Structure 1
């Protein structure tokens, strides 16, 4: 049987800062081939957002088609680790290393859980581009799956959803995300001769005042209210006696399923267009999605209760994940390890949690469809 902790260590030992390719996929592919999976790997994209490696592994041809999605890329380790971030180390019952929580151990746990399960069709969808722009990752795998008619019945995404204890939270949806850049052009000049210049700052202030007054919604039964956040305002003026030539700002909007990315871009675009010389650029990272509580979330909750005694909360909080792509294919729910140390220095997971997660994943995988 696959040893989940040994596999997690082997994955952590491969540096895979996003976008990831190469050795970390070699390790995972070897573990899957040993179990009889047909493994396909392909690389897409170019710098700066690529190249990105993706892996699609399938086994079985009958029964329920169950998919598991995850990522092998990690964020940069940063400074201050008590050791090498890519040299996995066990201390005090914890496995330390970048990716231990987010989310190499979850992938290892699912691979171990799938070992010997032969009555279902199982697909693993693993990318090296979840922590980055996600342009060449899971979305590219899904295009390949759709072209082949490879559509799962269900998808479990192994993101670290638990908060205080393993099993306390599963994610049945996520908010959408859109970033916007607003630029207002003016004419530089001397502050003592304002009639010879065109100050863009007052126009930017008027735009931001209108945006601050927007109430998108008041939330839903499953989502908190959509929010617009101004994340920077820039003029780039190092002097006190110069009217600047331009001014800019950036917005980040996280939105629930009452909104859509294109509609939000149109809404903000109309405000920006009310001021001369103002332009808007936008990038939609993903739309909101919800897998309504039902058989799939109950199946996961029952497995968690059986192994931990904890009844999980159904949640839609947090940032975006690749579940936003998978939800377009089939009902998608996220469940994984405790997220307290993800993206932090000395990221670590409890060995006991990995073993428990294997048992939970196996119960989910082997439950009746």
Structure 2
């Protein structure tokens, strides 16, 4: 099959029901697109005790430098209530200029367009003067343990080195050309447990209600603000996402109260300095005797989530300028450079090479009736093709 048509590429990929952790045929379909172009392809299955096996793909065209990586994922989130979809989520139907299907924008569409872009480049100019690789995981929407992290490690152990990476996540809020992601905030999560003494609600002096303390402690986590933001990042922000006592009775004072929280942080902080600040806030608040009317300071413990995401910012002029120029040439728009939003697998790739993100408009990702404008697929392919040409002309390695 030819891979020059992004619409056909995307329809093929959407028709593979690759809901995390299932491969669903998506890696096989991508292999069929890339093999005729001369790519060498490895299918890498990653394993971890207690976790599902994940199939990943690494493909490379060329053996010399400079080396450009395109990264992404073929796994998708569940469809939810399939009856709520106006078109079957894995049919890839086209209606009124829109292509419907789970993964249309997040992010099989980006993979389809980059595949078409490199296929067109090869057809018009031959292989690039250097190397292009695809690093594609099936575990981005899942726990991300057997995905990009392990595929990067596997490739690096084989001697693979990269000079730059483009991640095809949907970065544009309204229209193609709005935004390039040049970094991401860090992410740190934790679970706070306050310990009290269970008792009868009518005899509070014999008990110790942890709810009183957890309300004050969570307020201390959220206020005052951690910072006012920096030149490249929004202010750090902590959100309490759950508070629970696990108590179904109305006349029982609970023994414990728990709260989960997540903070998205800028380059004012590291995960380690944030942990220290959070513990200091909790200690000061827990020691407030007025809160507990003569009792000892509130007793709490905290469990931090493994693998916090670290903040990063890309400052590679050749990469950013090549992509910005390609976007402006194709769309007439000058893209904004942003670090907003959540995390992506770019947080792992940044340890190996400079990385930016640019893909489709993300308004319908993870929604019922996820869809992409057919015209946007052609536009993004043209942007990617122009970017490939410019990056290899400008790469300083």
SS at match of 1:220: coil
The residue that corresponds to 1:168 in the other structure is 178
Deviation at 1:220, TM superposition (A): 0.9
The separation in 1 between residues aligned to 2:224 and 2:260, in whole angstroms, is 16
Name 1:44's counterpart in structure 2.
Answer: 46
- Per-residue CA distance 1:207-262 (angstroms, 9 max, x = gap): 22322334321111111000011111111222222111110001110111221223
2:345 corresponds, among 294, 307, 322, to 322
Name stretches of at least 5 consecutive residues in structure 2 with no aligned partner: 287-296
1:24 equivalent in alignment to 2:47: no
The answer on 1:157 being equivalent to 2:167 is yes
Match of residue 310, structure 2, among 280, 287, 290: 287
Pair 1:141 & 2:143 matched: no
- Deviation per CA, 1:119-156: give whole Å up to 9, x if none: 22011110011112211111111111222331211100
Report deviation, 1:277: 3.2
Counterpart of 2:329 in structure 1 is: 306
Counterparts of 2:160 and 2:224 in 1: how far apart (Å)?
42
Write the distance in 2 (CA, Å) between the matches of 1:205 and 1:87.
Answer: 48
The residue that corresponds to 2:235 in the other structure is: 225
Aligned partners of 1:237 and 1:108: how far apart in 2? 50
**Equivalent residue, structure 1, for 2:76:** 74
Shift of 1:181: 0.6
**1:364: Cα distance to partner?**
0.9
Instruction: Tell whether the 8 Å contact from 1:59 to 1:121 is kept in structure 2 after alignment.
Output: yes
The TM-score normalised by the length of structure 2 is: 0.89
2:357 is matched with: 334
- Offset at residue 319 of structure 1 (A): 0.8
Specify the alignment match of 2:111 in structure 1: 107
Supply the RMSD in Å over aligned alpha carbons: 1.7
Q: 1:29 and 1:49 mapped to 2: Cα distance?
A: 25
- Structure 1: gaps spanning 5 or more residues: none
Counterpart check, 1:215 vs 2:219: no
- Equivalence map 1:82-101=2 (5 Å): 82-101=86-105
Q: Are residues 258 and 301 of structure 1, via their aligned partners in 2, closer, same or farther at CA, if it must alter by over 3 Å?
A: same
How far the C-alpha of 1:293 sits from its partner, in A, is: 6.4
Alignment partner for residue 197 of structure 1, among 207, 210, 224?
Answer: 207
Match of residue 135 from structure 2: 125
- Kept in 1: contact 2:68–2:132 (CA 8 A): yes
The alignment partner of 2:18 has SS state of coil
Give distance in 2, aligned partners of 1:11 and 1:191: 58
What CA distance in whole angstroms lies between the structure 2 residues aligned with 1:76 and 1:22?
13
TM-score, normalization by structure 1:
0.95
Structure 1 runs (4+) greater than 6 angstroms displaced: none
Count of aligned residue pairs for this structure pair? 369
In structure 1, distance between residues paired with 2:323 and 2:215: 48
User: 1:51, 1:277 → 2: CA distance?
Assistant: 40
Please say if residues 20 and 72 of structure 1, whose CA atoms lie closer than 8 Å, have aligned partners that are also in contact. no
Matched, 1:237 2:247: yes
Structure-2 separation of matches of 1:341 and 1:169: 17
Once the two structures are superposed, residues 45-99 of structure 1 have per-residue CA deviations (whole angstroms, 9 ceiling, x without a partner) of 3586422221111110124200000000111111210121011101111111000
CA contact (8 A) 1:172 1:293 kept: no
Q: Judge conservation of contact 1:22–1:53 (CA < 8 Å) in 2.
A: no
8 Å contact kept, 1:188–1:245: yes
**1:250-298 deviation line (CA, Å, top 9, x unaligned):** 1110111221223222332344455553111112441111113622111
What CA distance in whole angstroms lies between the structure 2 residues aligned with 1:106 and 1:257?
29
Match of 2:260 among 238, 244, 250: 250
Q: Does 1:344 align with 2:367?
A: yes
